[in-house]
Amino acid sequence: MRNARCQLEVLTLASVQYMYSDRAREGYITIQDDNRTVSITMADLQAEDSGIYSCVYGSNYVPLKTISLNVYK
C-alpha cells in the first residue's frame, strides 16, 4: 500500500465492512472476516479488474498475501 498506485478496495474493522471502490460499493467485491479466516469474493469480473491484489494487515499494511489476477474477455 505504500506504492501510490495501490487502491483500497475493501476494509474490515471489527467485522464491519467499509467499501472504498465503486465495484465494492456495488457488491462485486466482498470480504468476510471472522477473526480467524478471511474470504474475499470478486464477482462479475471484467478484463479491467486484472492486476495485482494484496491482502494486508494493520495500519502499517503488513502484506499477508499477494496475487496476480488476469481476466480475459
pLDDT digits (tens, 9 = 90+) for 7-46: 888 888 777 788 888 888 998 998 888 778 888 999 999 9
- Candidates 3, 9, 8, 7; CA nearest to 42 is 9
Per-residue confidence (pLDDT) for residue 56, from 0 to 100: 86
Span 56-71, mean pLDDT? 88
Helix (H, G, I), strand (E, B) or coil at 32: strand
